[in-house]
Amino acid sequence: MGQTPRSSRAKRYAFPALATAAALFAPVLSGNASAQLAPAASSSAGASATFALPPNAAPNWIFPIGTPGHLAGYNIAVQNELFVPLYNYDTSSGTFALDEKVSAAKPPVYSNGDKTVTITLQKLKWSDGQPVTSRDVQFWYNLVKADKTQWGNYSQGQLPDNISKFTVLSPTTFRLQLTQAYNPGWFTANQLVYITPIPQQAWDRESAKGPVGNFDMTTAGAKKVFSYLVSQSSRLASYASSPLWRVTDGPFQLKTFTTSGYVTLVKSSSYRGPEPARLSSVTLEPFASDEAEFNALRSGEVDYGYIPTADIPQVGAIKASGYTVQPWVGWAISYIPYNFNNPTMGPVFKQLYVRQAVQSAINQQTIADVIWHGYAAVGYGPVPQTPPSSFLSKVQAKNPYPYNLKRSKSLLASHGWTSGPGGVLQCTSPGAGAGHCGAGIAKGTKLAFTVLSESGSTETNNMMQYLQSTLSSVGIGLSVKYEPLNQVLDQTSACKPNQASCSWQGSFFGTQGSWYFPAYPSGEQLFLSGASANFGSYSNPAADKLIQETNVSSSATAMQAYSALLAQDLPVMWLPNPDYQVSAIRSSLKGVLQNPGASFMQIEHWYVSKG
Amino acid sequence: MRSPFGWFLLKRLAQAVVVVFFVTLIVFGLLHALPGGVARGILGAQASNAEIASFNRAQGFDKPLPVQYWMYLSRLLHANLGTSYKLNQSVGSLIASRLPRTLVLTGVSTAVAFVVAVPLGVWQAIRRRRLADYVITTGAFVGYATPVYFLALLLVIVFNADLHLLPSQVPGTYNLGQLLAHPSVLVLPVVTLAVPTIAVFSRYTRSAVLDNLSEDYTRTARAKGAPERRVVGIHVLRNSLTPVIAMLGYYVPVMFSGAIVVEEIFNFPGMGLLFWNAAQTSDYPVLLGVILLIALATVTGSLLADIAQAVADPRVRSGLK
Tell whether B87 is within 8 A of chain A (Cβ). yes
Separation between Cα atoms, residue B52 and residue B180, nearest integer Å:
44
Contact B167 A3 (CB under 8 A): no
Backbone angles phi, psi at A436, to 5 degrees: -110, 165
Choosing among B85, B267, B284, which should be mutated to test the A contact, i.e. which has the most A CBs within 10 A?
B267
CA distance A67 to A405: 48
Q: What is the pLDDT of residue A44?
A: 55
Closest CA to B192 of B162, B220, B150: B150
Strand partners, A418: A426
Q: Rounded CA gap, A327 and A578, in Å?
A: 10
- The pLDDT of B216-231, averaged and rounded, is 88
Q: How buried is A132 (Cβ within 10 angstroms: 0-12 exposed, 13-18 middle, 19+ buried)?
A: buried
Residue A441's CB: how many other CB atoms inside 10 A? 25
Q: B91-126 and B271-280 helices cross at what angle (nearest 10)?
A: 130
- State the smallest CA–CA distance between residue A299 and chain B in angstroms: 6
Looking at residue B255, its pLDDT comes to 78
Nearest to B43 among A13, A68, A289 (CB): A68
Measured from the Cβ of residue B314, the count of other Cβ atoms closer than 10 Å reads 9
Subunit contact A484:B49, Cβ cutoff 8 A:
no
HSE-up (13 A, CA, CB side) for residue A588: 25
Q: Do B40 and A156 touch (CB under 8 A)?
A: no
The whole-number average pLDDT for the span A235-259 is: 93
Closest CA to A219 of A334, A141, A279: A141
- Write out pLDDT tens, residues B75-87: 888 888 888 877 7
- Residues A373, A325: contact at Cβ < 8 Å? no
pLDDT value of position A22: 30
- As a whole number, mean pLDDT of residues B101-111 equals 90
Is residue A518 a contact partner of residue A189, using CB atoms and an 8 Å limit?
A: yes
- pLDDT score, position A518: 86
Whether residue A360 has pLDDT greater than 80: yes
Query: Per-residue pLDDT averaged across A444-471, rounded?
Result: 94
Q: Give the closest-approach CA distance of B29 to chain A in angstroms.
A: 17
Question: Nearest CA of chain A to the CA of B93: how many Å?
Answer: 9
Q: Is B51 on the interface with A (CB under 8 A)?
A: yes
**A111, A202, A339 from A460: Cα distances, Å:** 47, 48, 20
* H/E stretch holding A89: strand A89-90
pLDDT, residue A600, reads 65
Give the pLDDT score at B35: 64
Neighbour tally for A472: CB within 10 Å: 16
Q: Which of residues 181-200 of B touch A (CB under 8 A)?
A: 182, 185
Fold of A16-257+580-608: Dipeptide-binding Protein; domain 1 (3.90.76)
Q: What is the pLDDT of residue A398?
A: 95
Q: Give the one of A2, A60, A532 whose C-beta lies nearest to B49's C-beta.
A: A532
- φ and ψ of A209, to 5 deg: -95, -10
ipTM value, please give it: 0.73
Say whether residue B160 is in contact with chain A using an 8 A CB cutoff: yes
Band of the pLDDT at A30, cuts 50, 70, 90? very low
The reported pLDDT for the residue numbered B171 is 74
B153: pLDDT strictly greater than 50? yes
Instruction: Answer whether B88 sits within 8 Å of A3, measured CB to CB.
Output: no
Q: Which residue has the higher pLDDT, B309 or B115?
A: B115
Helix axes B131-145, B91-126, angle to 10 degrees: 160
| Amino acid type, B304 | L
**CA-nearest residue of chain B to A295?**
B168
Segment A396-411 shows an average pLDDT of 96
Residue B283 vs residue B95, higher pLDDT: B95
The pLDDT value given to residue A45: 62
CB contact under 8 A, B43 and A69: yes
Contact assessment for residue A161 and residue A141, using Cβ atoms and an 8 Å cutoff: no
C-alpha B52/C-alpha A68 separation (Å) is 9
Render pLDDT for A196-239 as a digit per residue (tens, 0 to 9).
Answer: 999 999 999 999 999 999 999 999 999 999 999 999 998 888 99
Task: Give the residue on B whose Cα is nearest the Cα of A68.
Answer: B43
Distance CA A523, CA A431 (A): 33
Higher pLDDT, A154 or A194: A194
CA atoms of A305 and A328, how far apart (whole Å): 11
Note the pLDDT of residue A431: 92
**Bridge partners, A438 (sequence order):** A431
Using CB atoms, pick whichever of B43, B50, B264 lies closest to residue A291.
B264
- In this complex, which of B88, B185, B280 lies closest to A60 when CB atoms are compared? B88
Give residue A31's pLDDT.
Answer: 30
First to last CA, chain B: 13
CA gap A66, A63 in Å, rounded? 6
The answer to whether A606 and A525 have CB atoms below 8 angstroms apart is no
Q: Tell me if chain A has a CB within 8 Å of the CB of B82.
A: no
pLDDT in tens, B268-278: 878 888 888 88
Whether the Cβ atoms of residue A353 and residue A439 lie closer than 8 Å to each other: no
Peptide bond into A160 cis (omega under 30): yes
Evaluate if residue A10 carries a pLDDT over 70: no
- Which H or E run includes A51? strand A48-53
Contact B46 A69 (CB under 8 A): no
Domain ranges of chain A: 16-257+580-608, 332-578
The pLDDT value recorded for residue B60 is 82
Closest chain A residue to B157 measured between Cα atoms? A295
pTM beyond 0.95, yes or no: no
Q: Give residue A23's pLDDT band: very low, low, confident or very high (50, 70, 90).
A: very low
Q: How confident is the model at residue A599 (pLDDT cuts 50, 70, 90)?
A: low
- Mean pLDDT throughout B232-238? 86
Put simply, whether B282 touches A (Cβ < 8 Å) is yes
User: Which chain A residues are within 8 Å of B99, Cβ to Cβ?
Assistant: none
| Choice among A370-379, A444-453, B38-47, B181-190 with the minimum mean pLDDT | B38-47
Round to the nearest angstrom and report the end-to-end CA distance of chain A: 37
- In Å, how far is B197's CA from the nearest CA of chain A? 23
pLDDT at position A21 over 50: no
Cβ A226 vs Cβ A65: under 8 Å: yes
Closest Cα partner for A310 from A487, A462, A485? A462
Q: Which of A161, A291, A333 to mutate to test the interface with B (most CBs of B within 10 A)?
A: A291
For the ranges A115-119, A212-216, A424-428, B44-48, the lowest mean pLDDT is seen at: B44-48
Residue A287 has pLDDT above 90, yes or no: no
Which of A5, A149, A261 comes nearest B54 by C-beta? A149
Residue of B38, B40, B49, B85 to mutate, testing the A interface (most A Cβ within 10 Å of its Cβ): B40
State the nearest Cα–Cα gap between A267 and chain B, in angstroms: 21
Residues of A in contact with B40 (CB under 8 A): 486, 489-490
Mean pLDDT along residues A84-110: 90
Across the interface, do B160 and A295 touch by the CB < 8 Å criterion? yes
B173 pLDDT above the threshold of 80: no
Predicted pLDDT of residue B51: 76
Mean of the pLDDT values across residues B161-180? 80
CATH number attached to the domain at A332-578: 3.10.105.10
Q: Which residue has the higher pLDDT, B313 or A48?
A: A48
A574/A563 Cα distance (integer angstroms)? 13
E-assigned strand segments in A141-193: 163-170, 173-178
Long-range contacts of A430-438 (CB under 8 A, 24+ apart): A437/A348, A437/A351, A438/A347, A438/A348, A438/A350, A438/A351, A438/A353, A438/A354
- Mean pLDDT, chain B, integer: 84
A9-18, A503-512, B173-182 — most confident range: A503-512
Question: Residue A325 — pLDDT band, cuts 50, 70, 90?
Answer: very high
Is the predicted pLDDT of residue A32 greater than 60, yes or no? Answer: no
Q: Do A3 and B44 touch (CB under 8 A)?
A: yes
Question: Higher pLDDT residue, A323 or B23?
Answer: A323
Find the residue in A nearest to B268 (Cα). A288
Best residue in B166, B173, B184, B268 for a mutation probing chain A (most A CBs within 10 Å): B173
The nearest alpha carbon in chain A to B56 belongs to A68
> For residues A143 and A66, what is the distance between their CA atoms, to the nearest angstrom?
12
CB A380 within 8 A of CB A567: yes
Contact: A60, B277; criterion CB under 8 Å: no
- The dihedrals phi and psi of A212, each to the nearest 5 degrees, come to -85, 135
Q: Is B45 in Cβ contact with A489 (below 8 Å)?
A: yes
- As a whole number of angstroms, the distance between CA B31 and CA A32 comes to 48
Q: How many CB pairs under 8 A join A and B?
A: 156
Q: By three-state DSSP, how is residue A304 classified?
A: strand
Q: pLDDT-based confidence at A258, cuts 50/70/90?
A: confident
> Is the torsion defined by CA of A405, A410, A413, A417 positive or negative?
negative
Domains and CATH numbers, chain B: 92-317 (1.10.3720.10)
Task: Tell me whether B280 touches chain A (CB under 8 Å).
Answer: yes
* Alpha helices, DSSP H, located in A428-556: 458-472, 485-491, 541-552
User: 3-state DSSP: chain A helix, strand, coil percent, rounded to 5?
Assistant: 30, 20, 50
Smallest CA–CA distance from A297 into chain B, residue: B161
Task: Show residues of chain B in contact with A285, CB under 8 Å.
Answer: 172
A10 to B267: CB separation less than 8 angstroms, yes or no: yes
- pLDDT averaged over chain A? 88
CB within 8 Å of A344: residues ≥ 6 apart: A445, A505
Chain A residues with CB under 8 Å of B85 CB are 69
- pLDDT for the residue A24: 28
Is residue A454's pLDDT more than 60? yes
pLDDT digits (tens, 9 = 90+) for A554-584: 777 899 999 999 999 999 999 999 999 999 9
